[in-house]
Structure 1
Amino acid sequence: MSEDKDYQRMLDGKLYVTDKLHEDHREFEGKVLVQKINQLPQDRAHMAETMRLEMQLVHGKHKQLWIQPPFQVDFGKHIEIGENFYCNVDAILLDTNWIRIGDNVKIGPRVNLFTAGHPIDTPIRVSMLEYAKEIHIGDNTWIGGNVTVVPGVSIGKNCVIGAGAVVTKDIPDGVIAVGNPARILRKIGKKDHDIWQAQADDYYRDWAND
């Protein structure tokens, strides 16, 4: 196969044309794999098979990985996930470019991670030229339900992104961000730790008394 110039331009975040991608670099294989996952019965007997196929789909360490079906991908081969990952139902992982997710990340239901974009200028947009830019999500971050992350955005470590947020710009480490477009509400600090540690201690005491 000769060099796939449009595929490389796509991964470089430059304008490209989907119809010029070579067959080996098209999205069909990943879509078929996700279709198999989504068609498996959602019972305990099929959990191991679901997890096996999901680990086949994504790159990374992912010793513990669960993406709750149904979900959708674009290519299904540009997704890299760390350890201890959970994603709730109805996610759209539009991995036209890379989606890179760290360790201990939780994603709520109906979250959209969109790496694909189209030019604002009308004549260029209708000429079939498009682009895709990577999305990064740092370790220990929680993305709430119905959040949308647009192309090229990085979300830091130890963040909480409130439900329904539309993340259009980078988010630094250790903050809560909410709204459309998402804005930083506040930093996460010692007071948050103390409140939740007290509730965790209560849980463990309750079990210790059995």
Structure 2
Amino acid sequence: MKVTGLHHAYGRRHVLRGIDLDLGPGRLVGIVGENGAGKSTLLRILSGELRPDRGTVRHQGRFGYCPQDVILNDALTVRQHLRFFQSAYGLADLRHAEEIMEELHLHEYADERAGNLSGGTRQKLNLTLALMHDPHLLLLDEPYQGFDWDTYQKFWNLAGRLRTAGRCVLVVSHLAHDIERLDELWRLDGGTLHPGTAVAA
């Protein structure tokens, strides 16, 4: 995904002031910023959910989007969510989704309604839905909120394997967690991106 000159404002409040970003294959990229800095606005634009005032977003291949606010139907079970997204993605089977569920220890909740799940388990389902079609680019907004330590470690292991497989993962958060795992770190401040430290070997 190549992002050029993104601008966006809410009324007179300019949130993004010329964002340039190049998300290439095999990269783990982080963007950090204060609450209200425009991180979620940027991800909504990258995912196509929101149109920028100016600028372009070009991408190739499949992408997955995991928003900060988990959007699930509380009346449906985990398995029913998977089948719904299987149809939406046009997938022949759920093998990839089941592998992710197994890794995140979500499989034991397959027949639970989403409304009965804890916040961390709902986030596991959110992540599974974003990954089940094997996207080339994964956009994650505060992806590990509600995770226990074990799941947090599993998340980073999964992200590392995606990078090794040539995928790109963009993690957006208000805190810079485990930055040594990242290839690139950016800070969103004043509507622009400021280079952090490239830390991964």
User: By the TM > 0.5 criterion, same fold?
Assistant: no
TM-score computed with the length of structure 2 as normaliser: 0.28
- RCO (CA 8 Å, sep 6+): is it higher in 1 or 2? 2
Q: Which has the larger radius of gyration?
A: 1
TM-score (norm: length of structure 1):
0.27
